[in-house]
Amino acid sequence: MFTNFYYLLKSEGVPVSLTEWMTLMEALAKGLAFSSLTSFYYLARAILVKSEAHFDRYDLAFTKYFTGIETTEDLLEQALDWLTTNLPPLELSSEERAMLSRLDLDELRRQLEDRLKTQDGEHHGGSHWIGTGGTSPFGHSGYHPSGLRIEGNSRNLSAVKVAAKRQYRDFRGDQLDGVRQFEMALRKLRQLSTRADGPKNDLNLDGTINATSQNAGMLKLVWERPRRNMLKIIVLMDSGGSANRYMQICSRLFAATHRTSHFKDVKFYYFHNCIYDRLYTTPELKDWVKTEEVLKSYTADCRLIITGDASMAPSELTMVGGIINWREHNEETGLFWLQRLAKHFPYSVWLNPIQSDYWEQTLGDYTIALIREIFPMFQLSPEGLEQSVKKLMNKS
Amino acid sequence: MTVKLAEFQGTNDYIVAENLKNSVNVAIALGRPLLIKGEPGTGKTMLAKSIASSLGLKHIIWNIKSTTKAQEGLYVYDTVQRLYDSQFGGCNVSDIKEYIRLGKLGEAMASNEKVVLVIDEIDKADIEFPNDLLWELDMMSFFIPETRETITAQQRPIIIITSNAEKELPDAFLRRCIFHYIDFPDAEMMRDIVKVHYPNLEEQLVQQALQAFYKIRNISGLLKRPSTSELLDWVQVLALGGIQPDKLSSELPFLGTLLKKNQDFDNVLQYLSQRGTKQRGSSTLWRG
């Protein structure tokens, strides 16, 4: 049942697992959807979707899959003519509502076809024929718990309509949002700091008390490894030129990295378009240190995050002297420096503020492709950052 | 085939949205934990209390702190007490059972009647915390090695878990839950909520306060948007302070009840002054 809906959800990017799908089947078998599309909408969402960030995608998939059910084929064209009249919304008491029997969707369709065949004209406010108002399951503005809405504006929102409203759009993880989402993503890097390494030199007080008591009161010390995040991070940010457009989003990453106080050391450096023998310590590109020095002072276990649109003239990457600033000269190509960085820091990612769908069409597609061969590239968004955090835990 | 649900209908002092009610009933029918997320102040913790009293069940709250360990929820073996007793005499030291203290989850499982267990703010604990409970929540039973005893729930407790999304929860854990995100209530529902809490308030005051409240909430760029609990405080303060409803939206007295950050304060004041209205002076700004 609805198996295609499962695949549609997956293709829309909702992470649904088979376990959850089976739970939904169990719920349907128990009749928890009450044979109504609206209940099904909420039931399936509660079971299949585990984060409000994915609600919007669920809505999209739901609309795609079930839209056909809301307005059925050309059968309806003549019915539409009957529905042009508007009536005030129907108010029903809960008893009246309960009295209206709930219909199965297939049954409903069959009845609709039947009625289309036998109905001879407009009909409003009744309980049987297609029309506006009333309690017939067909038509609009009326009330029927499992009715089919045909055109008009819904007063008692139907499921597909609710889904089509896409009110959870703001929660999407791949849209640019506050610093907090970045922070949450960065926090995942904390998993790196396990108790697996380092000497056992912290006294475990609870463990000691427990062990001592079990040892008939003879002192028995329990030691454990300290749980400190030993992680060091270097962030290299593109500053100036084409990157200015993405200032806002980059500054969010900056703020998030600053606020996440779990790391042992976080260093920021700046560059313009590509990295050569100098790295700047301010975004205005005034003071600088030698890239060589930075490489020397950080070991391979340090994580490297580079942000930039990776869009530049190909010469800036491939030619000696191709640096964008005409007052400077580079002895080695940009590509050489990037490769050197990637080699020195096996844990590294490139975050690109350009939406990943456009990487192959944008102006800088050539250099983006070149850089992607060196660094794993992700979109600079909460979701991209999350993926890159996973990457930063494994050598690339 | 339909099953008879132990229908949760909401209670007199807790207004519950239709779809939340459904989620609760689905979770009960399927016997899965219900994970509740939502903005602070949307009544996540209150929900469990309401479920319990609506169904006439006992409810147990397990408050999670950053130091809470999964094991503590099941049981604690009080070795210190046992050592003490062994040296100074007391209970029967050879019976370890005497020194096993059940935690909140253990208590819920050992209970003879059906209970509602709230695991409150699960995201406060360590990242691994939810994973440590997977087996116990699935099987509703756990083993105490010290006494070689297995405790199994006779009646599957209704488990409500709340989260403020401070930390991401592990996928394996999420797969087993029913998830519900509490939307921020719309104006109509909010009026009902206010009425439930303060039934004797002047209609006009509530109306004006709600209007102002939603206006403030919609100002973009607020660091912390005021939520239900803050509105309730504010309405109460307004009523106690004897504020005239017609002055409310232009002056926004006792704004400190709604806004908790200096920057937000400036934001709202700026917004007010842009609209050509006057702030009554700093005496009303008693917080922030």
Q: Which residues of A touch B (CB under 8 A)?
A: 15, 17, 19-20, 23, 26-27, 29-32, 39, 42-43, 46-47, 49-52, 55, 167, 184, 187-188, 190-191, 209-210, 212-214, 216-217
pLDDT on residue B159: 92
pLDDT on residue B282: 41
Alpha-carbon distance B179 to nearest alpha carbon in chain A (angstroms): 5
Contact A130, A79 (CB under 8 A): yes
Alpha-carbon distance A42 to nearest alpha carbon in chain B (angstroms): 7
Query: Is the Cβ pair B26, A27 closer than 8 Å?
Result: yes
pLDDT on residue B75: 92
Q: Which of A15, A20, A191 sits opposite B127 (nearest CB)?
A: A191
Q: How far is CA A68 from the centre of its chain?
A: 27
Helix-, strand-, coil-residue percentages of chain B, each rounded to 5: 45, 15, 40
Query: Is the Cβ pair A20, B80 closer than 8 Å?
Result: no
pLDDT on residue A85: 43
Low-confidence ranges of chain A (pLDDT < 70): 1, 68-181, 184-185, 187-198, 227-229, 240-245, 259-262, 326-327, 394-396
Return the biggest CA–CA distance within chain A: 96
Alpha-carbon distance A295 to nearest alpha carbon in chain B (angstroms): 33
Best of A206, A213, A252, A387 to disrupt the B interface by mutation (most B CBs within 10 Å)?
A: A213
Answer whether CATH 1.10.3470 is correct for domain A232-393.
no
> How would you label B251-281 residue by residue, b for 16+ Cβ within 10 Å and e otherwise?
bbbbbebbbeeeebbebbeebbeeeeeebee
Residue B3 has pLDDT above 60, yes or no: no
Q: What is the rounded CA–CA span in Å between residue B238 and residue B254?
A: 8
The domains of chain A are located at 3-71+165-171, 74-150, 196-227, 232-393
pLDDT tens for each residue of B238-269:
888 877 777 777 777 888 888 877 777 787 88
Residue B22 has pLDDT above 80, yes or no: yes
Q: How much is the mean pLDDT over chain B?
A: 81
Best of B2, B22, B82, B167 to disrupt the A interface by mutation (most A CBs within 10 Å)?
A: B22
Query: Is the Cβ pair B3, A31 closer than 8 Å?
Result: yes
Alpha-carbon distance B181 to nearest alpha carbon in chain A (angstroms): 6
- In chain A, residues with a C-beta closer than 8 Å to the C-beta of B29 are 27, 30, 32
Residue B35 has pLDDT above 90, yes or no: yes
pLDDT on residue A180: 65
Query: Is the Cβ pair B80, A209 closer than 8 Å?
Result: yes
Best of A28, A47, A179 to disrupt the B interface by mutation (most B CBs within 10 Å)?
A: A47
Q: Identify residue B212 by its one-letter amino acid code.
A: A
Rounded (5°) CA angle A360-A361-A362: 105
Contact B131, B178 (CB under 8 A): no
pLDDT on residue A134: 47
Query: Is the Cβ pair B175, A20 closer than 8 Å?
Result: yes
Instruction: Specify the fold of B18-182.
Output: Rossmann fold (3.40.50)
Q: How far is CA A19 from the centre of its chain?
A: 21
Q: What is the rounded CA–CA span in Å between residue B20 and residue A42?
A: 9
Q: Which of B32, B168, B181 sits opposite A55 (nearest CB)?
A: B181
Alpha-carbon distance A28 to nearest alpha carbon in chain B (angstroms): 9
Residue B136 has pLDDT above 50, yes or no: yes
Contact B185, B1 (CB under 8 A): no
Residue B78 has pLDDT above 80, yes or no: yes
Instruction: Count Cβ atoms within 10 A of the Cβ of residue A160 and give its class: 0-12 exposed, 13-18 middle, 19 or more buried.
Output: buried
Q: Is the ipTM value over 0.85, yes or no?
A: no
Q: What is the rounded CA–CA span in Å between residue A229 and residue A198?
A: 11
B23 has a chain A CB within 8 A of its CB: yes
Q: How far is CA A343 from the centre of its chain?
A: 31
The domains of chain B are located at 18-182, 187-284
Q: What is the rounded CA–CA span in Å between residue B159 and residue B10?
A: 17
Contacts of residue A283, Cβ cutoff 8 Å, sequence gap at least 6 = A237, A239, A240, A270
Query: Is the Cβ pair A47, B174 closer than 8 Å?
Result: no
